[in-house]
Amino acid sequence: AYADGNRKMGGRKKTMSNQSNGVSSGRFANRVILVTGAASGIGRACAVRLAREGANIVALDLDADGLASLAAEIESVGGGCETLCGNVTELERIDAAVTCATTRFGRLDGLINNAGIGGPMERFDRCSPDDFDRMIAVNLRSAWYGTKVARKPLLAGGGGAILNVASMAGLVPNRNHSLYGMTKAAVISLTYHAAMDYAADGIRVNCLCPGPVETPIFEQMRRNLGEDVYDGARRQLMRRTLLGRFGDADEQAAAAAFLLSDDASFVTGIALPVDGGWSISDGQTP
Ligand code: NAD
């Protein structure tokens, strides 16, 4: 049986508030969203965007300094923010973050499983079993944990929305990115299966497949490859992107906000590329 027809984020029509800070339309007024990997890059942009639109944020990350500056930024736009320093590979930390949402703000309305790491950037046969385990734990098991643990509090509030941050590399193979691509393809599959199982609960589950966004995740690539090779790889990525440029974290946040909001009340089980056309490119310069 489906949860009641008045589901917020899981199906209810949007309610607008008068809030007007920054880009705010108040789509998330009185709502509570948990964002993992929120201290930096795409996760941070999502947390700030949602807060500007009225949400209270619970942020989980390994980076204590990044969390402190995120909390200050969110407070400066008038939002509430609770931070937890911890590793998304540990089920107890995800549990603690969900509990924090309900104890501090009284509810949970949405979750972004965003925390992730880049892979070893090696040929398939050069990746080690340790690389494999690490990539699975951070990029996949964390999203699986979050999606499991969030169901109860989302259901208690009448439904909600989950957004997984996968990658264009989960849609299309990308040379020397096998482990990364495999984990992100699995996150897309996780999304489809959770969307099926949670639909009757009024919980929508979607995923975002970002194209290249020059966040600190690219620093790892720069270190691994060295400056010259990195520059070549960067140019190649840019050439393959139909719009001819890297994306911006705010462009990912705009799509994330749509998918979490009631504007997407009839959208579940999709993998949305926000990649400047990278995933359909033939590699020719437009
Ligand atoms: P980022 O490095 O800027 O941010 C990732 C955040 O996750 C960091 O704050 C980091 O501390 C946190 N984190 C990493 N491992 C963690 C762990 N075990 N426990 C808790 N927190 C952890 O990277 P980003 O580019 O913003 O990436 C965010 C997500 O977007 C990732 O899932 C990434 O795979 C995905 N993505 C990024 C791009 C891109 O081009 N930047 C493209 C496609 C997908």
Summarize pLDDT for 218-244 with one digit per residue, the tens: 888 888 889 998 898 889 889 999 999
Digit-coded pLDDT (tens) for 117-161:
999 989 999 999 999 999 999 999 999 999 999 999 999 999 999
By three-state DSSP, how is residue 86 classified? Answer: coil
How far apart (Å, rounded) are the C-alpha atoms in residues 283 and 286?
9
Mean pLDDT calculated for residue range 182-187: 98
How far apart (Å, rounded) are the C-alpha atoms in residues 278 and 211?
7
State the catalytic residue, choosing from 2, 180, 192, 230: 180
Instruction: Give which of 33, 19, 14 is closest to 77, Cα–Cα.
Output: 19
Q: Using 50, 70 and 90 to split pLDDT, how confident is the model at 20?
A: very low
Query: Residues with Cβ < 8 Å from 152, sequence gap 6 or more?
Result: none
Average pLDDT, the chain: 91
Distance from residue 41's CA to the centre of ligand 1 (Å): 7
Mean pLDDT calculated for residue range 57-63: 98
List ligand 1's pocket residues with C-beta within 6 A.
37, 39-43, 61-63, 66, 87-89, 114-117, 138, 165, 167, 210, 212-213, 215-217
Of 69, 215, 275, which is best to mutate to test ligand 1, by the most ligand atoms within 8 angstroms of its C-beta?
215
Residue 65, phi then psi, degrees to nearest 5: -65, -45
**Are 128 and 181 spatial neighbours (Cβ–Cβ below 8 Å)?**
no
Distance from residue 28's CA to the centre of ligand 1 (Å): 23
- Flag whether pLDDT at 61 surpasses 80: yes
DSSP H helical segments within 122-214, as ranges?
129-135, 142-156, 178-198
Percentage above 70 pLDDT, the chain:
91
Predicted complex ipTM = 0.99
How far apart (Å, rounded) are the C-alpha atoms in residues 162 and 143?
10
**pTM > 0.90:** yes
180 is catalytic: yes
Distance from residue 47's CA to the centre of ligand 1 (Å): 13
How far apart (Å, rounded) are the C-alpha atoms in residues 247 and 77?
24
Q: Which structure tokens are listed for 13?
A: 């029509």
By three-state DSSP, how is residue 186 classified? Answer: helix
